[in-house]
Amino acid sequence: MRLHVVLLALLGMTLSGITHAEDGGLVFNPGSNRWERKSGVSVTPKMMRSDKSPVAREIVQFESRYKPGSIVIRTSERRLYYVLTDGTALRYGIGVGRDGFAWKGRERISRKAEWPSWTPPEEMRRREAEIGRILPATMEGGPDNPLGARALYLGSTLYRIHGTNQPWTIGGAVSSGCIRMANEDVIDLYGKAVVGALVFVE
């Protein structure tokens, strides 16, 4: 029950009628008490627990102007590239900032965290409260936490590359500016990326 309530709060649900999740493709139907896609395909408990991305990671040819170990995020593609040494990169599917929250720039990874806690900025809490979504002041790390299994912090900004407990949102414009990865993928990237590495958001 606690997980059910947390998921409703984090996705901005209400229980009056059918309500839509932020990715636009998922709805909660209180009549059937189930998550459903707009097509009517139910989101199963297995999907809710999954750490796998719907977008398989793969090694691809990539431009050589980026130093190996750099991360290149192409928001229009909804893909993140971890640059390798031989003119290739490891490509991952990601979720990016929704309309009004997308950004571009260059930062460095300033720190890394396993199962990070989440402290929503006060501005975010006020913004969400105005539309009836009450966010916690802070939330300890763990499987229910929206930051997922790992986080890579970008400079002194509030942005992160982080995991998610909502893998079905990968490939969408869903966040408040952070780069979202499935837990399996963010764990893989976490093991490769080092503090100080450059991150290019294009």
Active-site residue set: 162, 178
Q: Is 76 exposed, middle or buried (0-12, 13-18, 19+ CB in 10 A)?
A: exposed
Are 201 and 73 contacting, i.e. CB atoms less than 8 angstroms apart? yes
Integer Cα distance of 130 and 164 in angstroms: 24
The neighbouring-strand residues paired with 37 are: 26
Question: Can you tell me the distance from the alpha carbon of 32 to that of 42, in angstroms, rounded to the nearest whole number?
Answer: 10
CB atoms within 10 A of CB 148: 27
Gap between the Cα atoms of 59 and 67, Å rounded: 16
Q: In the numeric block, which tokens belong to residue 106?
A: 């260059």
